[in-house]
Amino acid sequence: MKIRRKNAIFEREFTFSQSIMGKPQVGEMAPYFKSKTQDGDTLSLADLRGERVILYFYPKDNTSGCTLEAKSLRDGKEELTRMGFRIIGVSPDSEKSHRNFCTKHDLNFTLLADTDHSVAEAYGVWAEKSMYGRKYMGILRTTFVIDAEGRIERIFEKVDTANHYQQILKAYQE
């Protein structure tokens, strides 16, 4: 499968093979991103320099697993903030969908509207999935922890949706 990605510096499109792109690894610089928040503001990785970030990718607003994960992070936000983390969720849903999701579940953190999948592609989490024999492209639920210098500090690929904030805390207590 070929993926087209626009290089922000040179304003050109390049085609990459999905097998070449893959996920960034622990210790590597986090891929650059720029997207709109639920409030319509633009947020980029450069804006987050100096902050530790929990960047979590989830498939869809208001679905059971995604709602459990968001509520877990909401409930643990105070403790995660004390540890120096900022929480940012990313899905292909629109700004309006994110606003509704935040309002409905009292979410107290930023959601990015990755409607063109560019952020998910940069992090290697936009991939072919299968359900009931039907193949489709979608988000692989994954969380990246990015340090204050912009390096990938940890990756959670097996996310415990109902207890995700505790999963992150436990990883940092080891």
Q: What residues are annotated to the active site?
A: 66
Return the SS3 of 99.
helix
Measure the CA–CA gap between 10 and 1, rounded to whole angstroms. 24
Measure the CA–CA gap between 171 and 174, rounded to whole angstroms. 6
Contact 147, 153 (CB under 8 A): yes
> In residues, how long is the chain?
174
Q: Which residue, 139, 59, 61, is CA-closest to 95?
A: 61
User: Residues with Cβ < 8 Å from 25, sequence gap 6 or more?
Assistant: 152, 155
Measure the CA–CA gap between 151 and 48, rounded to whole angstroms. 12
